[in-house]
Amino acid sequence: MAGIFGIALRGLGMLGRGKKVSKTITSVKPSVPKTKVEKAKSKLAIAKQKTKGSQAKLNQTIFNLQEQNRKFKGRK
C-alpha cells in the first residue's frame, strides 16, 4: 500500500511544481562584413581554415601511406 501512495504522491508533486526552464539563446547575430577591409579579413580567415583542413588531410594521407608501406615491408 505504501508503495502505491508514494508513487501517487510523487506523480502529484510533479504536476504541482512549476517547470524550471533556463534562459535560452533566442538568436545569434550574424557576423556580416560591411567594409572592404572586413570582407578581406573574412575571406582570409576562411582561406586559412581551408588551408589547415587541407594540410591535415594531406598529413593523414601521408601517414596512411607510410603505415601501408611499413606493413608491406614487414610481410617479406
pTM reported for the whole predicted model: 0.52
Q: What is the pLDDT of residues 67-76, one digit of tens each?
A: 999 888 876 5
Say what the pLDDT of residue 11 is: 61
Q: What is the pLDDT of residues 3-49, one digit of tens each?
A: 666 666 666 555 555 555 667 778 888 889 999 999 999 999 999 99
Say what the pLDDT of residue 59 is: 98
Say what the pLDDT of residue 72 is: 85
Say what the pLDDT of residue 48 is: 98
Residue 55 above 90 pLDDT? yes
Residue the block writes with cell 502505491: 4
